Amino acid sequence: MSYVAVTLAGADSPGEHLQLAAFTAAAAVFFIWVGRRQRSTGRSLIAPNETTRTADRLVPPPPPTRGHRTAGCVWIGVGGVFVLPAVFNVVAAIRGLIG
């Protein structure tokens, strides 16, 4: 089973497994952060809640929407998908170091 995991990951040494684990863990943290922020605010990630000045007046930000909250939940799910390969790569690195 570990041979299949190594082949699929494209890593041959424990160091490469740890690099892959670090990369996927960083991606997981980023996507989960984006999802939590978007879900809690209900606004777009690009311009979350800033007022905009146009000519002589301030334009308020758009109200929170259910679609942005749902998209936040989707981003959290995407981050969760990245957590699993990080765990598998850490386990593969430990198994490579031990035996």
**Residue 21: partners with Cβ closer than 8 Å, 6 or more residues away:** 85, 86, 87, 89, 90, 93
Taking only the tens place, the pLDDT of each residue in 29-70 is: 999 999 998 888 887 777 666 777 788 888 887 778 888 889
Residues 82 and 27: beta-carbon distance below 8 Å: yes
Tokens of 99: 């035996």
**Residue 40: partners with Cβ closer than 8 Å, 6 or more residues away:** 72
Taking only the tens place, the pLDDT of each residue in 80-92 is: 999 998 999 999 8
* Domain chopping of the chain, boundaries: 2-45+62-98
